[in-house]
Amino acid sequence: MPVIRLALAQMNAVVGGFAQNVETLGRFRTLAASAGADLVLTPELSLTGYPPEDLLLKEGFIEATRVALIEMSLLQNVPPVLVGTVVGEGLDGVELAPSSDARDVIRAASVDVDPHIGNALVVLSDAGVVATATKRLLPNYDVFDEQRYFHPGVGPQTIVNVKGVAVGLLICEDVWTRNGPAVELARQGATLLLVANASPFARGRREDREAMLRERALETNCPIAYVNLVGGQDELVFDGQSMVVNAQGDVVARAKAFSEELLVCDIEARASSAGVPLDTTYARDEDRLTALHVNRVADPPSPIEEIYEALVMGTRDYLRKNGFRSAILGLSGGVDSSLVATIAVDAVGARAVHGFAMPSRYSSEHSVADAADLAARLDIELTTLPIEPAHEAFGTILGEVLEGGPTGLTDENLQSRIRGVLLMGISNATGAIVLTTGNKSEMATGYSTLYGDSAGGFAVIKDVPKTLVYELCRYRNQVAASVGDPEPIPEKVLTKAPSAELRPDQRDDQSLPPYEQLDPLLQLYVEDDATAASMIDDGHDPALVLRITRLVDLSEYKRRQMPPGVRISKKAFGRDRRMPITSAFRPESM
């Protein structure tokens, strides 16, 4: 049977960053040439970045994709490439010769362009655009909103013939459906399937993908190559983990998680004459072929390692792609701020992270000491800013309108807001981004202060339940210990009772049930969409269920005002879960 050497370009694209993406794609194509590859497969919308969202509706954006595609065609002595991009009706059939002036070709292609656009794979060689495949199935669930922007591909699906192998082209959702586009390609004669993807990370997603690819391979009797984006984009993180499975569904090549990589694989497939011929000859320099590892199968990370790496990459790329060179955060000596500080250091380095301890009259000595210990272990700068003078001043001012001054919850929230004001003031003066430290358990139940601990630019652990916070801390300490480094998070932080320390002897379990009880209920209600009635029927305490579900519903207005944060679950607050703030629906009363 024929063998194709395929290069899967697992790249970190920048949304709207055409110059950066063209450069990255060119670098991967050049590396693929040095490996003697016949063809390069890139991720979904690799040229535009994913998801471009309403940029697709901006004047000039579609034109910019055409300019970028022309620029890609100028690279010589490299293998043909399958470019993830967007196309309008007017692009089909346009030849992109290397000698062409890009703007002239674009002007010609822009005549009578359909106002609707397609999510596409463009097959680009030295001869120009050889073929174009458009996405058939447009997801409109979870974080996906593609029916807002794209029209589905129609007509015969695209097959190109490479060295006697019929290569069928698919885009992400197309491969997930039984008896769908993948099967239709096999019916048309395809003997190898290539899939371009922008599949965001979520817990358990790698296992889902591998199970699906095995099912499609067995269904079509075709090997399948699956390339995925890597990198952070707002709250989404793409984990890469591109892979190739044989016709029996066994993984024969896998790229590393959370890392840019060119995965080179020799794929054996059945011979077929179907498809548009694609010339894969180019000026290979046999003396310069690199010794890239072919058909490498990287070990997948453990579930806890995946989550930690997702948080690090999401934080790093949010700062890097938005131009932030440094980060600041409040260090309370608690477990949440300790984890966020550790992730930030792993993401951007200790020199770029600055912690601020802001003790109040209620802060314990051990919490201040724990914050200092953490900062020393992480080698980050720590500044202490006591908030007592501001606390007293605000108390005096509020005493003019509140009899007896601020008390109870008002006084607790006041302390949090003073800290938020200080951090945002420092951010304004220095340009550093404020990292908030609230976790998913707190955000779900409203156990946070608007314009206080929620004030900032990026919520690193926004999608991390409190019990998982502890797991991640212990995991990171174990990683350090395994290589002989000091454990970054002090053991005292992990063993003391969690507390906001906004009143004497305060503990979280005075306001919320123990997190070991709370987090499973939140998992059911928020992520699994269970009803209060079904949770009670399953044996959970009725009073506790009704209390927690009510807290979640009432706190929607707070969550709408929270900064973005890394998504690690299959249903995070934000893009996934879109609940109305104003709602009279109370399912527990039915």
- Is 261 noted as a catalytic residue in this protein? no
Tokens (6 digits) for 400: 């003019």
Alpha-carbon distances of 75 from 128, 265, 432, rounded to whole Å? 11, 23, 39
For residue 393, give the H/E element and its range. helix 388-398
Q: Is the dihedral of CA 57, 317, 450, 532 positive or negative?
A: positive
As beta bridge partners, residue 382 has 355
Helices (H), 163-302: 181-187, 205-220
Q: Which of 380, 283, 363 has the alpha carbon at shortest distance from 329?
A: 380
CA dihedral 571, 576, 577, 581 (to 10 degrees): 150
Spell out where 532-587 has E strands: none
**Coil, helix or strand at residue 251:** strand
Alpha-carbon distances of 269 from 4, 167, 193, 418, rounded to whole Å? 8, 9, 10, 65
Give yes or no for a contact between 174 and 181, defined as CB atoms under 8 angstroms apart: yes
Tell me how far apart the terminal alpha carbons of the chain are, to the nearest angstrom: 64
Tokens (6 digits) for 14: 């920048």
> How far is the C-alpha of 34 from the C-alpha of 461, rounded, in Å?
41
Pairing outcome for strands 118-125 and 81-87: antiparallel
Give yes or no for a contact between 109 and 142, defined as CB atoms under 8 angstroms apart: no
Q: Is the dihedral of CA 322, 328, 330, 335 positive or negative?
A: positive
Q: Which of 441, 234, 429, 209 has the alpha carbon at shortest distance from 320?
A: 234
As beta bridge partners, residue 577 has 573
As beta bridge partners, residue 265 has 6
- Is 172 noted as a catalytic residue in this protein? yes
- Is 135 noted as a catalytic residue in this protein? yes
> How far is the C-alpha of 235 from the C-alpha of 12, rounded, in Å?
15
**Coil, helix or strand at residue 401:** coil
Active-site residue identified among 53, 59, 63, 135 = 135
> How far is the C-alpha of 519 from the C-alpha of 442, rounded, in Å?
10
Active-site residue identified among 172, 222, 265, 473 = 172
Active-site residue identified among 44, 71, 306, 527 = 44
Q: Which of 544, 572, 253, 542 has the alpha carbon at shortest distance from 439?
A: 572
* Residue 365: burial class (beta carbons within 10 Å; 0-12, 13-18, 19+): exposed
| Active centre residues (catalytic) | 44, 135, 172
